[in-house]
A and B are shown apart, each in its own frame.
Chain A
Amino acid sequence: MELTATTQVPFPGQVHPTEGGGVLISKLDEVINWARSNSLWPLVFGTSCCAIEMMSTASAKYDWSRFGFEVARATPRQADVIIIAGTIVNKMAPVLKRLYDQMADPKYVIAMGACATSGGPFFYNTYSVVKGADHVIPVDVYIAGCPPRPEALIHAMLTLQEKIKSGGTREQIKIDKDMNIING
Chain B
Amino acid sequence: MQANIPFWVGGALIMSLTNEKIQQRLQEKFGELVSGFEEPYGMLTFAAPKENNIKVLQFLFDDEELRFQFLTALCAVHYPERKGEELAVVYHLHNLVDNVRIRFKVFTDINQPDVYTATSLYSTANWMERETFDFYGVNFVGHPNLKRILNVDEMDYFPLRKEFPLEDQTRRDKDDEMFGRGGSFM
Whether the pair B150, A125 counts as a contact (CB closer than 8 A) is: no
Whether the pair A91, B167 counts as a contact (CB closer than 8 A) is: no
Q: Which of B150, B159, B164, B171 contacts A91 (CB 8 A)?
A: B150
B151 contacts the other chain (Cβ, under 8 Å)? yes
User: How far is it, in angstroms, between the C-alpha of A162 and the C-alpha of B166 when the chains are bound?
Assistant: 44
Interface size on B, residues (CB 8 A): 9
User: How far is it, in angstroms, between the C-alpha of A124 and the C-alpha of B168 when the chains are bound?
Assistant: 7
Whether the pair B167, A127 counts as a contact (CB closer than 8 A) is: no
Q: Count of A-B contacts with CB under 8 A?
A: 16
Whether the pair B166, A125 counts as a contact (CB closer than 8 A) is: yes
Categorize the interface residue count of chain A. Answer: under 10
Whether the pair B168, A125 counts as a contact (CB closer than 8 A) is: yes
In the complex, what residue of chain B is closest to A91 when comparing beta carbons?
B152
Whether the pair A124, B152 counts as a contact (CB closer than 8 A) is: no
Whether the pair A125, B167 counts as a contact (CB closer than 8 A) is: yes
Cβ–Cβ < 8 Å partners of A128 in chain B: 151-152, 159
A90 contacts the other chain (Cβ, under 8 Å)? yes
8 A Cβ contacts from A111-137 to B? 124-125, 127-128
User: How far is it, in angstroms, between the C-alpha of A172 and the C-alpha of B133 when the chains are bound?
Assistant: 48
8 A Cβ contacts from B152-175 to A? 152, 159, 164, 166-168, 171
Could you name 16 residue pairs across A and B whose Cβ atoms are closer than 8 Å?
A90-B151, A90-B152, A91-B150, A91-B151, A91-B152, A124-B167, A124-B168, A124-B171, A125-B166, A125-B167, A125-B168, A127-B159, A127-B164, A128-B151, A128-B152, A128-B159
